[in-house]
Structure 1
Amino acid sequence: MPEPWGTQVTNWIVFDYGEVLSLRTAAVPKLAAAMGVSPETFEPVYWSVRDPYDRGCPDLEYWTSIGDQVGAKVDDALSAELTALDVAGWGQLAPGSLDLLQSLSDAGASLALLSNAPSAFGVWVREQEWAKLFKHTLFSGDVKVAKPDAEIFQLLLDKLGAAPEECLFFDDRQVNIDGARAVGIRAHLWDGAEAARAALA
């Protein structure tokens, strides 16, 4: 049933995952060590080639692209190890996130998750108990398109069966907020669980 979250009727509350519901990855030192390089060498490359990974490139291709730049050879076994470390590194929920999701769900809100993340991470999320609080999840790696592109927001709306104005979206990146607003979705820049509660009051 629609609920009057804020000043407009909202049928869906949609959350980003990384650095919204979760803490920033803690895996960089372990990933760098697995590749045999320093975190200072590894981390800039990890981020610089991340977008194609979020858009569906295979795990091995992503890790090989990093290895090529840092001077490390990546085979199937190392790729699998790196993928597991990477997924685990993004696995810690931020303080207050679970309480926020649970309270919204208990109040009857329909929740969805929209994340720029590789398919391997989507598999892990769907196995978590807290993922049951979401009626729908959508990961960029599965659909090979990512925020802030209009296409992924349209895929979300199609999945939810919702009009843009019926959705309220939280993300930590202004470019993604702008992308959501460009297709008519109401969007708030994430500033923590308590600020989200205030926005939903």
Structure 2
Amino acid sequence: MIKNLVFDFGDIFINLDKPATYREMAALGVTKITEEMIAVYHQYEKGLMTTDAFINFFHDKFGLEKTDLVRSWNAVLLDFPKKRLEFVKELAASKKYRLFLLSNTNDLHISWIQDSLGDEFYNEFKNCFEQFYLSHEINFRKPDAEIYQFVLNENELIAEETLFVDDLKENTDSANSLGIHVWNLIPGEEEITELFTKKKNLL
């Protein structure tokens, strides 16, 4: 029996245009994603690098100005449909499950999201969750198994009583390897509001 629901953020609640940052960066002359850039990104996403250090890396390496980098970096972020907020608010109000958010999110992205949504909308959303885990605040990132183990241990959750929803298969595969039930939601084909239809066998 599922007692705990753990949700990703991007492309589960807020829509993403995943290639947008690459397009924007290419327009600024950064046409190749190197291993060094990926390593820096992962460090930043784990909160092991400050926003200033992250921006300075791209400025020193490619001559990018802060405003150009921030605009390009946040281009991936789109809208947050109101029906998804209403869905999770109703779910929280039912008190049938313990709700958690678990997102690979960095400081620049979450700042843009807060500004874009406004305090009222953002706080309504955040308050639906018992814990609101952002990778840069807890120093772990998906799909590393330790991030899921951290959530289980911190909240005394039983893996077999927990369902994790994410749009990336590598993330759901990693969680599933620990015995957590998963839904690898396909953006554009499936909606988080369909949870009780798609996973009615569990819920």
TM-score (norm 1): 0.72
Mapped to 2, the partners of 1:161 and 1:83 lie a distance apart of: 38
Match 2:58 to one of 56, 66, 78: 66
Q: Residue in 1 aligned with 2:99?
A: 111
Within a 5 Å distance, the mapping from 1:1-201 to structure 2 comes to: 9-24=1-16, 32=24, 38=27, 41-42=29-30, 45=33, 49=38, 50-56=41-47, 57-69=49-61, 71-74=62-65, 78=66, 90=77, 92-94=79-81, 96-108=83-95, 109-119=97-107, 121=109, 128-129=122-123, 130-191=125-186, 192-201=191-200
Q: Is the CA contact 1:53–1:118 (under 8 Å) kept in the aligned structure 2?
A: yes
Percent same amino acid at aligned positions? Answer: 21
* C-alpha contact (below 8 Å) 1:171/1:177 kept by paired residues: yes
Query: How many residues were matched structurally?
Result: 183
Q: For residue 45 of structure 1, report the CA deviation from its aligned partner.
A: 4.6
Any conservation in 2 of the 1:11–1:110 contact (CA below 8 Å)? Answer: yes
Is the 1:116–1:139 Cα contact (8 Å) retained in structure 2?
A: yes
* Cα distance, 1:20–1:133 mapped onto 2, change above 3 Å: same
Deviation by residue 1:78-133 (Cα, 9 ceiling, x = unmatched):
37x955885696373146321321221232232110001124555766x5221111
Residue 151 (structure 1) shift: 0.9
Tell me: CA distance 1:161–1:90, structure 2 relative to 1, closer, same or farther (3 Å): farther
Displacement after TM superposition at 1:178 (Å): 0.7
Measured in 2, the distance between the counterparts of 1:21 and 1:44 equals: 30
State the TM-score, normalizing by the size of structure 2.
0.72
CA distance in 2, matches of 1:139, 1:185: 19
Are the counterparts in 2 of residues 190 and 196 from structure 1 also a CA contact under 8 Å? no
In the superposition, relative to structure 1, how do residues 176 and 44 fare at CA in structure 2: closer, same or farther (>3 Å)?
Answer: farther
- Alpha carbons of structure 1 residues 98 and 11: separation in structure 2 relative to 1, 3 Å: same
Describe the shift of the 1:15–1:43 C-alpha distance in structure 2 as closer, same or farther (beyond 3 A): farther
Larger RCO (CA within 8 A; separation ≥ 6): 2
Relative to structure 2, which stretch is displaced further, 188-197 or 160-169? Answer: 188-197
The whole-number CA distance in structure 2 between the counterparts of 1:44 and 1:101 is 39
Q: C-alpha separation between the residues in 2 aligned to 1:156 and 1:170? A: 14
- The code of the aligned residue for 1:116 comes to N
| Corresponding residue number in structure 2 for 1:6 | none
